[in-house]
Amino acid sequence: MWNDALSWLRPLLARNFKSLRHYNYRLYWIAQLISVTGTWMQNVALAWLVVTMTGSAVALGTTTALQFLPILLFSMFAGVFIDRWPKLNIILTTQSVSAVQAFILWGLVAAKVVTLGEIYLLSLLIGIVNAFDQPGRQAFVAEMVPDEDVGNAVALNSLLFNAARTLGPAVAGVTIAELGVAPSFLINGVSYVAIIGALLMMRRADLRSFKSNVHSTVREGLREGISFALNAPAIASVLIVLIFVGTFGYNFSTILPLLVKFVMKGGPEMFGALTAALGIGSMMGALLVAGRQNPTRKFIYTFAVIFAFVDLAIALSRSYVLTVILLLALGLASIAYIASTNTSLQMNSPMRLRGRIMGLYVVIFAGSTPIGALFTGFVAEWIGTARMIFVEGCLCLVGVAGGLFYIRKKKAELKAGETVRSAPERSGTA
């Protein structure tokens, strides 16, 4: 019986985890799992620190905004340099600076001298680092695996990210309850040793290298990337939806603390449990898309709609058990949507522009977070947390409607163009 079960499971595992057969990616994936777990511990601890220090949704929204504002401002410019410089060296630098930031934060909190102004400053620092780190890591995937494995590698990145999102908050919730917030920052700093070591151990000869036109100026390189994105329907149609869903739907680090404190009336243990539920659902979503090569636009839009409706249901829920179930569903839909969006953008953009396209992706998805975080904070203070979540779910649906309108418009333009081109032929035939 066990042999029959294993014979069914082996091909499934081989298909869903095939990117791990590549040495560099396998090394990177394992190290990232350790490092990102530490990062999630710090994210949870920082959010809880700000909420307990101030009791203010605006302060929490501002902290989140400062972490993402530099991404909004600089990621597209960073994409130009990512297409020119060795991506491994860029990531090695950004990860090292991130480790230093975590140790500084730990020192200030452990000494009980941290102020809100210092939290804002360190949040801004990590935002500047991530403006280069996030598009760099997205584009680096294609250097570690061949084209046919890019979709699988993107999905496995989502899997590790959400495995870390499950483990990190759960450990952080217990750690905060028993020891306070400071140890989470220390653990995060130490966790960077894994990824820095992995990057140093990589076989550089096995990395694929793709260079853009190094003789062009930064402005010309930036214009080339944006022009391609705007004129490629396969990319533009996906980005339209991402503008709304990324801005108003993916504010989990701001929404969850407010949901726990002001709607569910819970503490750090509930905060960790709900965040873990979101992470478990996200892991399920990553496994769902891991076996897909190049997801269709219909697949992407379907999960964007599911994501929005689950958001609306969470806004109406007052039951802890129901909220946990809904967060599982939200996690699944969120990663099925965002991983397929990421894969679609990478597979539909040329390698020489991939750093810039992923820079644009990061700007829209992560860089829009300051707008979404501030919107979340102010609207929550104005109309309450539950109503705020409902409004944001509705805005996600507006994004899907906008994307569908764009597709319909493009099809109409294409049909009109074909009619104009065929008119002379019909005239001549007549």
pTM as predicted: 0.74
Average of per-residue pLDDT values in the chain: 84
Query: What confidence tier does 276 reach under pLDDT thresholds 50, 70, 90?
Result: confident
Q: How far apart are CA 284 and CA 272, in angstroms?
A: 18
Task: Note the pLDDT tens digit of each residue in 356-411.
Answer: 888 888 888 876 777 887 788 889 889 999 999 999 999 999 999 999 998 888 88
CB contact set of 363 (below 8 Å; sequence gap of 6+): 71, 72, 75, 76
Tell me the range of 39-53, 163-177, 189-203, 337-351 where mean pLDDT is highest. 189-203
Q: Which amino acid is at 310?
A: V
More confident residue, 75 or 4: 75
Domain spans, the chain: 16-206+217-412
Tell me the range of 19-28, 58-67, 267-276, 410-419 where mean pLDDT is highest. 19-28
Task: Note the pLDDT tens digit of each residue in 295-334.
Answer: 788 999 999 999 999 999 999 998 999 999 999 999 899 9
Label residue 196 exposed, middle or buried (CB < 10 Å: 0-12, 13-18, 19+): middle
Q: How far apart are CA 344 and CA 42, in angstroms?
A: 31
pLDDT value at 353 more than 90: no
For position 211, what pLDDT does the model report? 59
Q: Average pLDDT of 283-290?
A: 80
CATH for the 16-206+217-412 domain, from 3.90.420.10, 1.10.3720.10, 1.20.1250.20, 1.10.10.10: 1.20.1250.20
